[in-house]
Structure 1
Amino acid sequence: MTRTVRFLAAALAALGLAAAVPAQAIPQVVLVQNSGWMEPFYADPKSPFKPLVAALVDSVVRPGDALVLAAFNQSQPGAPSPRGLLSEQAGGATAAHVRAALAGLETARKPKGGALADTDLGEAVTASIDGVLQGKPGLVWLFTNNRNSPNNDQATAQRNREFYALIHRGPAIAKALAFPLRMPVQGEHYRANGLMVYVFAVGAEGERALDQLVAEGRVKRVITEPPARLKPLDRDTVRLVPRRVEDAPGVAMSMDANGVLRADVAPGALEPFATVRWNLENTIYPYTIVGASVGARSVLNGANHRIVLEDGSVARLAPGKQAPLVSRVQLPVAQLPGTWSLDALKAAGSAFVLPGHIELQLHGQKLALSQAFRARMAALFPGDPLPDIFTPPAEIRDSSASLPVEVRVHYGSGPLYAAIGAALALLAAGAAAAWAYARPRRVHLTVEDELRTVRTRAGAVQPIYDKAGNQVARLKTTLFGHELIDLRDGAQVRLGR
């Protein structure tokens, strides 16, 4: 590990990543090239290079993130690379600190002879991943003119292949995006048409952080060009967009703002299968899917169902374009609650949601860099073979994509109101019965020609005595009336007057 890398690693550790940084924060390393090939980006008085770096850092680095800003070219004895410019935990003053650090940055020269410094992209990225991040999750941003020529090596194609292998086959990088930008600048020695901004997500946590930055539009605030994906090329290469549902009355499909497919099912829809017409969209800019076979299945509530495709193939699908796809989908009718079930009553007036997803598999996938992108790269970086870095690895022949699904059944409030009414009726009947059972009653008896009035309640049994004090009967009272029981022989006792 070079002295500069040790310094950067120590600076990052000093930020207290394990304790002080918020749980959602992630370290970010920003590498800014200042080798000889970058001379016009620094020498041109109208160059937007430094303002671009400052603006992007300000947009993507969130409060609490650990930030390391470094310049890089190629490490030489007495001139290490990368060279730290700033290391701090991002806060309110970070944007000003970044601008101040970039203000004094100039094109680097070699320590002996004063020649302009060479460039080693792989060295800078490796130092950041292994030295600064020490293999832990994070993001590495790389601002470069795309000329990779260590020791002024003219075999740039070979150097590019080494950089290519680092990105595609290096296990540390989980995701890599590139943003080719038009930036015409003129220096004393060179002129340039474009700039490349790379971002490498280290580890699964780094990939999630990068996806969140892109989803939140933090990159797009500064760079409006769509990101070109370098890695991964074996997943999330396509997505399904529903067009219409046939042969299934009461079933409709739509896509919400978060990309979740919603299948809205009426409570009375009992058809177990539906024909769904989709658009299959290529989401892997800047690649054309030259050809692939497509398979699909749905997973709902843990149950797997194969989706039968009318034509299970795709060909010559350009990035961002769509192709029609017709499928026969099994609907989870048996898994949906009945109208009078507890789940349906709970969801009355809203929707019962059955979550799941649709899985797509592309087999025998063949990708090719789109001609429009090749032309754009040739215009931005004339004579530079670095676009070869976008050539898909030959071993990637399959890919997968997952589309989250929500089956939503909309139950009306009628059954709920009916159930509530029935419950209230039962409660009322119970209350009436309880009142009838507990209310005091008066019973008229005649004992030996003597009229008596007895106070009693339902369920009570009371003894009846004659004038001599002998028990001659018992009075039993129920909800439905009164009865004399255990009547002694010859006793003169009767109900009423």
Structure 2
Amino acid sequence: MSVLLRAVLALVLLLCGRAWAEAPVRQVFLVQDSGWMEPFLTAEGSQFRPLVEALVAAARVPGGEIAVATFDQDGQVPGRPSPRILYEGAYEAARVRAAIASIDLPRKAGSAAYADADFNGALLGAIRTGLRGRDGVIWMVTNNKNSPGNSAEVERNTAAFYVALRESDAISRIVAYPVRMPLKGRNFSEGGFVIYGIGYGAAGDRALEAAVTAPGLTALFSHPPVSLKPVLAGGLTLRFDRIDTGGLQAGLENGVLVVSGADATAGTALRLTAHLHNGLYPQRVAAARLALSWSEVGTEAGLAQAAVSPAEITDLAPQAESGPLAVVLTLPPIPRPAGLAGLLSDGRTVDGTLTLRLADLRLALDPAFLDRVRPIFGSGLLSGDQMGGAAGDARAVEGRLPGLFRDYRGVSEASVSLPVRIEAAFSPWPLIAAASGALALAGAAGLGALALARARVQTVMLGTVPKRVSLRPYRTQTLRAPDGSRWQVRAGLWGPACATRLQEPGPGA
């Protein structure tokens, strides 16, 4: 294979791989068609089918493929698998509408009874056939009911369905939209149903998160989705609305609180006013103890200390903010590094993280939510998810919810973190003093060199005879006095020059 052909092939593979990595994931819209769905599918004036159409339109991603399918219990209806794909391919409103319009209520073989529902089989089938075993999103539309006369095998499958949702590492994100829609059919009456969004695989997780925050679904539903897994997904955040810097400069930059102008020598106390935002739904923070800590990058024990008051919080409603929290971050004096590097350093940058911990956290479902879903979660709920209790007061209604809705009870702590960068400046005076000393020393050396190079006219005594002569410091000259004697003369930087008489050579020398 030529070098050129190999290069072209490598480029094609690279582009195809990049296109595959950026391609939208597949989404499966799985609608229950067992007997309990009769009111939604047959009642006059039912808005069930239009809502499912709107769900598909709102959740779709341009360029992504979808599949519209139904599920009941595989094997109960001859020649009709479960799940059953009604349409798959690119989104086309007319074809999606036709597929949803074709949903009916199948009956068991040789019986007038409607088919039952196998939720675990539907989940596994949707992954295997709907998603083709790849990452994606499954939207399951169900009334959360099952026939009380099902076999033990179906009961085990239902329990396995919830185990898979809770424990499967491949399913890391689950949300739910309870929808009130009171309808009466020929055999059953219903108060509403639930739409579950299930992210399968890492890409499915990201796609589901993007879908629930996109304008389409936020406009379709009047309430936020219930986050079932993980419970605290995107839940608690800190917002700062006032920074008492005491003359410092501080502000948020790309999610990092940057404080500049701190005095490294004297230390700094930064006072902030914060609010805790409860983004959970439908859980409210009934009570929690607050503690603020500081951790510094690259050190086990941080230089700074942090504190928050009040030390506890109570009754924080869903989608609401707490009252003001006083946050104090104290940075002690920072010693200047030793040596020339420390002398030349103009400051130090301290990177760390403020972490607000909520201990003894107690969450509770919002009463308004329980009142809203009361008609949906009536009697005859899925027995495989530990149902029980008669619907009455709020506690009884909560007891009728599927167990996934009650998993928040296992959450007893949470934390919120904020990256912080403190730019502390060292005093310039040590550097100024050192520079001044160096300049003075250099000046003295320069003056000394100038003095050494410059000749001065001095009067020297050659015995008793004075004589004026030009002398350079520390250089020796030989002079002759009027009486013929010879003298060695030497001058210093200061004071008079010194003259020493030289011995005359004797006769015959």
- TM-fit CA distance, 1:243: 3.2
Gaps of 5+ in 2: 1-15, 335-343, 382-399, 425-509
2:135 paired residue number? 137
Contact 1:174 1:207 in 2 (8 A): yes
Matching residue's letter, 2:407: P
Matched residue type, 1:185: L
Q: Which residue of 1 aligns with 2:387?
A: none
**Within 5 Å, which residues of 2 pair with 1:187-336?**
187-234=185-232, 236-246=234-244, 248-251=246-249, 253=251, 261=255, 263=257, 272-297=268-293, 307-324=306-323, 325-330=325-330
Determine the structure 2 residue equivalent to 1:54: 53
Query: Amino acid of the residue matched to residue 216 of structure 1?
Result: A
Distance change >3 Å, CA 280–CA 374, structure 1 → 2 = same
Cα pair 1:118 1:150 within 8 Å, conserved: no
CA contact (8 A) 1:140 1:200 kept: yes
- 1:125 equivalenced with 2:123 (yes/no): yes
Per-residue CA distance 1:396-420 (angstroms, 9 max, x = gap): 43334445678899xxxxxxxxxxx
Deviations along 1:223-269, one digit per CA (max 9) or x if unpaired, are 23211111102554311122322353344557x9xxx6564757588
- Tell me what 1:173 maps to: 171
Q: CA deviation at 1:112?
A: 2.3
SS, match of residue 373 in structure 2: helix
- CA shift at 1:211, angstroms? 1.8
Q: Which residue of 2 aligns with 1:182?
A: 180
The residue matched to 2:281 in structure 1 has which SS?
coil
How many pairs align?
A: 373
Measure, in 2, the Cα distance between the counterparts of 1:66 and 1:333: 60
Which has the larger Rg?
2
* Matches for 1:328-477 after TM superposition, within 5 Å: 328-330=328-330, 358-383=354-379, 384=381, 385-392=400-407, 395-403=410-418
Between the two proteins, what is the percent identity of the paired residues? Answer: 32
Report the Cα distance in structure 1 between the residues aligned to 2:220 and 2:332, rounded to whole angstroms.
45
User: Residues 308 and 327 of structure 1 are in contact (CA less than 8 Å); yes or no, is this contact kept in structure 2?
Assistant: yes
SS at match of 1:105: coil
Q: Give the 3 Å change call, closer, same or farther, for CA 403–150 of structure 1 in structure 2.
A: farther
State the 1:72 CA deviation.
0.7
Q: 1:107 to 1:96 in 2, by over 3 A?
A: same
8 Å CA contact 1:368, 1:391 repeated in 2: no
TM-score (normalizing by structure 2) = 0.62
User: Is the contact made by 1:288 and 1:317 (CA closer than 8 Å) also made in structure 2?
Assistant: yes
CA distance in 2: counterparts of 1:141 and 1:149, whole angstroms: 22
Tell me how far apart the structure 1 counterparts of residues 154 and 312 of structure 2 sit (CA, whole Å). Answer: 38
Partner of 1:66: 65
The one-letter code of the counterpart of 2:30 is: L
1:83 equivalent in structure 2: 84
For 1:248 and 1:198, locate their aligned partners in 2 and report how far apart those are by CA, in whole Å: 50
1:318-351 alpha-carbon deviations (Å, 9 max, x no partner):
32233333222257998xxxxxx9x9xxxxxxxx
AA partner of residue 101 (structure 1): A
d(CA) in 1 for partners of 2:350, 2:43: 59
Give the Cα–Cα distance (whole angstroms) in 2 for the partners of residues 157 and 369 of structure 1: 28
Give the C-alpha shift of residue 154 in structure 1.
11
The verdict on how the C-alpha distance between 1:261 and 1:269 changes in structure 2, with shifts beyond 3 A counting, is: farther
Question: In the alignment, is the contact (CA less than 8 A) between 2:277 and 2:319 conserved in 1?
Answer: yes
How far off its partner does 1:356 sit? 7.8
Deviations 1:366-419 (A, max 9, x none): 33323322222212333343444311266543334445678899xxxxxxxxxx
Amino acid at match of 1:139: V
**Distance in structure 2 (CA, Å) of the matches to 1:105 and 1:408:** 64
TM-score (norm 1): 0.64
Change (3 A) 1:370 1:205: same
Judged with a 3 Å threshold, the aligned counterparts in structure 2 of structure 1 residues 195 and 332 are, in CA distance, closer, same or farther, namely farther
CA contact (8 A) 1:366 1:397 kept: yes
Corresponding residue to 2:145 among 147, 150, 153: 147
Which AA in structure 2 matches 1:45? E
Distance in 2, Cα, partners of 1:150 & 1:171: 31
Give the aligned partner of residue 466 of structure 1. Answer: none
Report the alpha carbon displacement of residue 306 of structure 1 after superposing the two structures with TM: 5.7
Helix, strand or coil at the partner of 2:238 = strand
Determine if contact 2:118/2:154 at 8 Å carries over to the other structure: no
